[in-house]
Amino acid sequence: MKSCRVKTIKWVTKEKLHDLYINQRMTQGEIAKVLQKSRSRVCVVMHYFNIPVRENYREANRTSLCRQCGKEFLQKTHRTFYCSERCKQDVKNSSSKVYNSRIRERVLKMYGGKCCCCGEGTSELLTLDHVKNDGKEWRATGEHRGNGVYLAAIREYRPDIFQLLCWNCNWGKATYGICPHKNERRNCVYPN
């Protein structure tokens, strides 16, 4: 029969740990700071000493205010911050809109801030264009969806690949192969 060897812990005693956790109501993280150990090591030692872990101090099933709309609701867990999935999505969407607009502003500033063809400078009317009309190949790779093209344009400044065009010039270039502004004959009829 094998003998069971008891592991000794020299850096803390059961009584000290019990006093900090139960009597002084310190959290495991606070105990870890006091004892200069990691929180996970404190958790393992508490389990080893059979010290009962108390319930999270932010208990579930209490009323709280929604961070989005301010409506009072009953929390299902201690990590529920919104009264509904809609409020949660609204917060997520608004933060992603801010992020996307910042990325777009950086690209516009980086590539001159105006249309390369007609000189339009209104930021809402500008878009990033592929100079060689190879945007379809870029999208086929699957890496450049959504803000992926804008992020690629920021990562490596390549005016030989990207340019800023207004929506009219971009659409004209895509439809007719050349922007109508660059066409010398303004009154010609384009083929279908």
**115 shares its domain with 96:** no
91-122 exposure pattern, b = at least 16 Cβ within 10 A, e = fewer: eeeeeeeeeeeeebeebbeebeebbbbbebee
Residue 6 reports pLDDT greater than 50: no
**96 shares its domain with 80:** yes
Tell me, rounded to whole angstroms, the distance of Cα 174 from its chain centroid: 33
For range 177-182, the mean pLDDT: 79
Helix axis angle for 85-110 and 148-155, nearest 10°, is 40
- Name the amino acid, one letter, at 51: I
**122 shares its domain with 68:** no
- Beta strands per DSSP E along 135-179: 162-166
Q: In which band, very low, low, confident or very high, does the pLDDT at 185 lie, cut at 50, 70 and 90?
A: very low
Q: Is residue 171 part of a domain?
A: yes
Cα separation, 25 vs 23, whole angstroms: 6
**77 shares its domain with 130:** no
Q: Is residue 133 part of a domain?
A: yes
| Residues near 132 by beta carbon (within 8 Å), at least 6 away in sequence | 161
Q: What total of structural domains would you count in the chain?
A: 3
Q: Is residue 136 part of a domain?
A: yes
Structure confidence by residue, pLDDT tens digits, 24-59 = 888 888 898 999 989 888 888 988 888 887 765 555
**138 shares its domain with 156:** yes
The confidence score (pLDDT) of residue 179 equals: 81
Is 0.85 topped by the overall pTM? no
**125 shares its domain with 79:** no
Q: Is residue 189 part of a domain?
A: no
Q: Which of 120, 112, 128, 114 is nearest to 170 (CA)?
A: 128
**145 shares its domain with 168:** yes
Q: Residue 37 belongs to what domain range? A: 10-54
Tokens representing 94 are: 């608004």
Tokens representing 177 are: 């192969």
Q: In which band, very low, low, confident or very high, does the pLDDT at 3 lie, cut at 50, 70 and 90?
A: very low
**46 shares its domain with 17:** yes
Residue 117 reports pLDDT greater than 60: yes
Q: Is residue 185 part of a domain?
A: no
**81 shares its domain with 119:** no
Return the SS3 of 54.
Answer: coil
- Beta strands per DSSP E along 1-86: 63-65, 72-74
Which of 69, 101, 133 is where one domain is finished? 101
